[in-house]
Amino acid sequence: MTMDEHNDRQIRDALKQSFPPATTELRRDLWPDILRRLDAHSVSVPWYDWVLVGLSGVAFLAFPRLVLVLAYHL
């Protein structure tokens, strides 16, 4: 056994003693909590988003070629 292998083994043993083994089992089922959060979360759209959508619609109706310019830049 070389000195490097001996040092590696000491480091490995020290790390194993320092960190407990990880538990991979869940303590409980998380899916009901996720469903509860999704049901409680309501989507609210601010008024200025609706204004921007309306202005975009008016601009596209007033300037039909603007749709092509926008599609080109996407």
Residue 59 contacts residue 66 (beta carbons within 8 Å): yes
Q: Where are the beta strands (DSSP E) in the chain?
A: none
Residue bearing the bigger pLDDT, 29 or 55:
55
Residue 1 has pLDDT above 70, yes or no: no
CA–CA distance, 73 with 69 (Å, rounded to integer): 6
Per-residue pLDDT at 54 exceeds 90: yes
* pTM of the entire predicted model: 0.41
> pLDDT tens digits, residue range 8-40?
899 998 888 888 777 777 778 888 988 998 888
Q: What is the sign of the dihedral through the CA atoms of 55, 60, 66 and 69? A: positive
Q: Where are the domains of the chain?
A: 47-74
- The stretch 42-70 carries a mean pLDDT of 90
